[in-house]
Amino acid sequence: MNIYTHPLLQGHVIDCDPYITIKSFKKDEIIHDEGEACHEVSLVIQGSISIYTYTYYENQYSIAHIEKDDLFGHFLVFSNRPVYLGNVVSLTNSTIIIIKRHNLLKLFSKDQQILANFLNITANSVLKIQERIKILSQKSIKESIMFYFETLVKKSKTNVVYIKNKERLAEYLNIPRPSLSRALIELKDLKMIDINGKYITINK
């Protein structure tokens, strides 16, 4: 497994091995508890990670879904309140590169490319958060879905959207899975979309 394919480490000029730790986690294993102090940045090189919390009425709320080549902890590790805002759980068997805060600072000072990668990843993460806030700010479920689809259409420059997992989409949109299914059927009836398995065509 080549750890240097991760976006944070791409283009590195120094040997990063002395500054990192690699850990493996089993499916459904808790990596960090909500409220736990964050002293590190974690790079996912295999598997999927979920960060979730609970609302006042004990409904599960998805904060983030992290896939291979993503990372987490980068918002927290340099903040004034470095604690995990949700439970961090391994959705599948996963492998993570862990870089402690002090080691990350050493890497930044020794390798400007890693620093540039970190700033780029963090900036893109902020854009994704702002994008999700816009989606969740829509007045109705159907509006949230269509706003999300339009966002994907603009990025891919095609009006066909691939939905890999409707359950994860429902979590991302913060709506119940049955409500998502009903809304998709209603949008189809309104001829705003066409559905063909996991492929959804946005009608313009």
Assigned fold of 3-134:
Jelly Rolls (2.60.120)
**Structure tokens, 140:** 């109705």
Q: Output DSSP code: residue 193.
A: E
pLDDT at 200 > cutoff 90: yes
- The torsion of the CA quartet 129, 86, 89, 121, rounded to 10 degrees, works out to 30
Residue 5 tokens, joined: 């394919």
Comparing CA positions, the residue from 17, 68, 77, 80 lying closest to residue 44 is 68
Q: pLDDT digit string (tens) for 94-112?
A: 999 999 999 999 999 999 9
CA neighbor of 133 nearest in space, from 144, 142, 123: 144
Task: Output the CA–CA distances (angstroms, integers) from residue 80 to 33, 37, 38, 42, 170, in the order listed.
Answer: 19, 11, 11, 19, 32
pLDDT value for 58: 81
> What percentage of residues in the chain have a pLDDT greater than 90?
74
Q: Mind listing the pLDDT tens digit for each residue in 129-159?
A: 899 899 989 999 999 999 999 999 988 888 9
pLDDT tops 90 at residue 44: yes
Domain spans of the chain? 3-134, 138-202
For the entire predicted model, the pTM comes to 0.83
In the predicted structure, residue 42 carries a pLDDT above the cut 90: yes
The token duo for 72 is 């987490």
pLDDT of residue 24: 97
Q: 138-202 sits in which CATH class?
A: mainly alpha
Question: Edge to edge, what strands does the sheet with 160-162 contain?
Answer: 160-162, 199-202, 193-196
